[in-house]
């Protein structure tokens, strides 16, 4: 049985004021759009629905349209990306989508979206090309870090909050990539073959939540879906397709060069705008003169062309971009800042820097912490583990290439990994104009209170020599991935990762350092799960999974290491040493574009592991804290068609901290569902000794097929069992 998905109805369609712009109703926005269309020539309409060209020297943004000055319609500016503005200076390098998911905080998801919108608006960008909603079907998928992990519910919440934040300041969000865009190899033509139930419950769900957030636009993907090019798939885009079935009011824009066959095939299939407008080796260049000929020849009706233009202009009117919107002040073709079209406008702010740092800290997942007091060390009595006892630690080793400053002169796609890894590569990256690496942040924090010895390479012998006999050794290791594109291999990896190993022999570095330092703390910067066969080593007293945390990587990890920020991150995926434990594979080799059957259906990540009784090294939702939490007073009551879950959380430890309770639903075997699925979470911020009553409401859609529910604390036990303890 398919899920019944109810379209979101925007509240009363009233005009409201928000962030110095007028949010119009969809009805009023379409009225304005249609009035403008009535005055347009066919060439002006074609200019609205077609990009101006990838190689156009007049292009200012990643994508542009042709303006209609006599009607006050500018060139609409589209620009990357999901973790911060790309191809310009004076912007913030925010944490990645996967780190935002690690916070399990709707508050921070929305705040990040708002900040991304503010910086986009400040640069004159009309359309923010994000958020990315591509489910992490396989842990090695190249762009999985841009989105919110393998769980559809988490992706849906990330989508809703990000879009709400972006559009709250009058910037259009663009949810991408529709649909089942889950690997980089062969992405330009592979066919993702997905059954209806899996489509609705896994891959469509984040887009449904985007529609409920009022998203302005959706980007169709390069890949084929069940044999048909995504950008002309009427079942996705057409009048009876998924988007319009569930109330989508905005427009569909192609990924860059993702159109094939003919202009009429794409226009009639539901594609409203083609970008970048010309042919770029893989596709594109169909609309331009092709669409005009199709309209004049009767293959595309004038009514359909008008609808395409209306769908594009309505969000522009709705978000108040027709009045007082800043002009474009940068040149994406000159990301170095040169040229007279780069006006040197900075949209960085202290508030955005603080937010980037908070999200990076909040997304750090404490995986292991053996905090003990030892004596007889070179410094006398030492507290091993985390948080680091700064007054007792007098000798420090910082080991690993990942601790040092990266090469900021890499090209705009960040195709390198020669320092600390703050973001993956490709169009979802951000401009690495500014970054504070861990070694600089640690050195600044420690000052003269301790001696630091560093080995900022992954040379095994040098790392051992630096760490031997030290009170603590911080070992920084990483693994990276990114977009396939037309880009080069990065350390032998082409988009998708080749394996789950740490790069630069990082695992061996950890083992060698742990052999000579009994207080080894490992910090992992990674785009996804990595093998941690060394996790149980007795000299490894702490492990922090820090993900891809953005420009404030150094200060944020210092905040966590030294206890200024009590880690509250939770894993947005499971960590296992074996790729087979995830139930999916990346198709690397194929004779032509492959057909990829999604035979795992609903069983991704922890769902698959539960079904096969696989115990991962660390499970989805896992994360430790420096304090302890106690749960009590659990109640579950019906309220109409919803279930209201209430319980009390108390901070029973000696550190202020944040707990992340999570609600999972379980199903009987007859339902054909996974054993359990995530359906709720909250962020509970508690001072020492504080308590809070938490309410989580599950609606009718959340409860579909429910047999029983479990509420669990973030460290993975069943709360019902916990409540039986004294």
* Residues catalogued as catalytic: 255
- Give buried/exposed letters for 351-390 (b at 16+ CB in 10 A, else e): ebbebbbbbbbbbbbbbbbeeeeeeebeeeebbbbbbbbb
CA atoms of 197 and 307, how far apart (whole Å):
30
- One DSSP character per residue, 386-433 reads SS--TTT--EEEEESGGGSPP-TTS-TT----SS---S-BSTTS---S
The tally of CA atoms less than 13 A away on the side-chain side of residue 232 is 19
- One DSSP character per residue, 489-548 reads PBTTB-SS-SSSPPGGGHHHHHHHHHTT-SSEEEEEEESS----TTTT-TTEEEEEE--S
Which residues are CB-neighbours of 681 under 8 A, at least 6 positions away?
Answer: 104, 157, 660, 661, 662, 663, 696
CA atoms of 355 and 342, how far apart (whole Å):
26
Kindly state the helix (H) or strand (E) to which residue 230 belongs, with its residue range.
none
Tokens standing for 106? 């709707």
Residue 544's nearest CA partner among 519, 561, 564 is 561
How far, in Å, are 337, 432, 491 from residue 342 at the CA level? 6, 17, 33
Tokens standing for 103? 């916070």
Peptide bond into 131 cis (omega under 30): yes
How far, in Å, are 34, 198, 263 from residue 202 at the CA level? 36, 6, 31
CA atoms of 295 and 279, how far apart (whole Å):
21
Is the distance from CB of 460 to CB of 504 less than 8 angstroms?
no
Count, in order, helices (H) and strands (E) of the chain.
Answer: 19, 27
How far, in Å, are 122, 283, 337 from residue 344 at the CA level? 12, 34, 7
Residue 146's nearest CA partner among 165, 128, 133, 155 is 133
How far, in Å, are 202, 425, 451, 531 from residue 500 at the CA level? 24, 17, 34, 6
| Residue 649, beta-bridge partner list | 631, 692
Burial of residue 708 (number of CB atoms within 10 Å: 0-12, 13-18, 19+): exposed
Tell whether the torsion through CA atoms of 719, 720, 722 and 726 is positive or negative. positive
Residue 149's nearest CA partner among 102, 80, 103, 107 is 102
Tokens standing for 356? 């980037």
CA atoms of 524 and 480, how far apart (whole Å):
11
Tokens standing for 650? 């108390």
Peptide bond into 489 cis (omega under 30): no
Helical packing angle, 350-362 and 106-122, nearest 10°: 150
């Amino acid at each position: 049985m398919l899920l019944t998905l109810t379209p979101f109805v925007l509240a009363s369609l009233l005009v409201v004021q928000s962030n110095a712009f007028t949010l119009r109703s969809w009805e009023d926005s379409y009225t304005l759009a249609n009035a403008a269309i009535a005055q347009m020539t066919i060439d002006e309409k074609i200019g609205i629905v077609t990009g101006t060209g990838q190689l156009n020297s007049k292009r200012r943004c990643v994508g542009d349209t042709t303006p209609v000055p006599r009607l006050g319609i500018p060139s609409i500016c589209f620009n990357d990306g999901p973790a911060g503005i790309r191809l310009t200076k004076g912007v913030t390098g925010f944490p990645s989508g996967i780190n935002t998911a690690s916070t399990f905080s709707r508050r921070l998801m929305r705040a990040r979206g708002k900040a991304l919108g503010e910086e986009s608006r400040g640069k004159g960008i009309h359309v923010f090309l994000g958020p990315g909603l591509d489910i992490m079907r396989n842990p090695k998928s190249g762009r999985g870090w841009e989105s919110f992990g393998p769980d559809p519910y988490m992706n849906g919440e990330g989508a809703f909050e990000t879009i709400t934040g972006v559009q709250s300041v009058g910037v259009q969000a663009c949810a991408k990539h529709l649909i089942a865009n889950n690997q980089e190899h062969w992405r330009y033509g592979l066919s993702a073959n997905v059954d209806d139930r899996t489509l609705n419950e896994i891959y469509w769900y984040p887009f449904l939540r985007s529609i409920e957030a009022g998203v302005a636009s959706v980007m169709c993907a390069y890949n084929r879906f069940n044999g048909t090019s995504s950008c002309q798939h009427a079942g996705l885009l057409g009048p009876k397709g998924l988007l319009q079935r569930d109330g989508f009011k905005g427009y569909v824009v192609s990924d860059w060069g993702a159109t094939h066959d003919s202009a009429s095939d794409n226009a009639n299939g539901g594609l409203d705008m083609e970008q970048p407008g010309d042919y770029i080796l893989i596709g594109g260049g169909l609309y331009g003169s092709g669409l005009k000929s199709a309209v004049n020849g009767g293959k595309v009706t004038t009514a359909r062309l008008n609808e395409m233009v209306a769908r594009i202009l309505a969000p522009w009117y709705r978000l108040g971009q027709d009045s007082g919107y800043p002009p474009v002040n940068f040149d994406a073709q000159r990301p170095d800042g040169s040229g007279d079209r780069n006006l040197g406008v900075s949209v960085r702010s202290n508030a955005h820097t603080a937010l980037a740092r908070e999200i990076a800290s909040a997304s750090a997942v404490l995986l292991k912490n053996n905090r003990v007091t030892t004596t007889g060390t070179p410094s006398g009595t030492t507290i091993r583990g985390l948080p680091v006892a700064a007054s007792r630690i007098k000798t420090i080793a910082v080991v690993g290439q990942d601790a040092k400053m990266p090469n900021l002169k890499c090209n705009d796609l960040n195709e390198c990994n020669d320092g600390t890894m703050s973001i993956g590569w490709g169009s979802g990256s951000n401009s690495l104009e500014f970054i504070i690496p861990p070694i600089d942040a640690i050195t600044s924090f420690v000052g003269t209170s301790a001696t630091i010895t560093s080995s900022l390479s992954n040379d095994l012998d040098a790392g051992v020599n630096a760490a031997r006999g030290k009170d603590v050794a911080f070992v920084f290791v990483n693994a990276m991935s990114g977009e396939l594109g037309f880009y080069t291999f990065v350390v032998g990896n082409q988009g998708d990762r080749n394996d789950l190993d740490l790069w630069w022999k990082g695992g061996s570095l950890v083992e060698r350092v742990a052999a000579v330092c009994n207080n080894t703390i490992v910090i992992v910067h990674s785009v996804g799960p990595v093998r941690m066969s060394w996790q149980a080593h007795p000299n490894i007293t702490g492990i922090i999974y820090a993900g891809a945390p953005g420009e404030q990587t150094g200060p944020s990890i210092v905040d966590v290491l030294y206890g200024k920020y009590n880690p509250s991150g939770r894993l947005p995926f499971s960590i296992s040493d074996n790729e087979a434990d995830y139930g999916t594979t990346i198709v690397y080799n194929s004779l032509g574009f492959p057909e990829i059957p999604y035979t795992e259906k609903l069983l991704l990540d922890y769902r698959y592991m539960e079904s096969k009784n696989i115990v991962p090294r660390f499970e989805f939702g896992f994360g430790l804290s420096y304090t302890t939490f106690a749960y009590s007073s659990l109640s579950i009551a019906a309220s109409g068609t919803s279930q209201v879950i209430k319980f009390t959380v108390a901070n029973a430890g000696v550190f202020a901290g944040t707990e992340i309770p999570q609600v999972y639903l379980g199903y009987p075997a007859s339902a054909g569902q996974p054993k359990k699925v995530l359906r709720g979470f909250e962020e509970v911020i508690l001072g020492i000794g504080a308590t809070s009553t938490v309410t989580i409401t599950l609606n009718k859609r959340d409860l579909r097929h429910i047999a029983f529910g479990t509420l669990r604390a973030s460290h993975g036990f069943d709360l019902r069992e916990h409540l039986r303890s004294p």
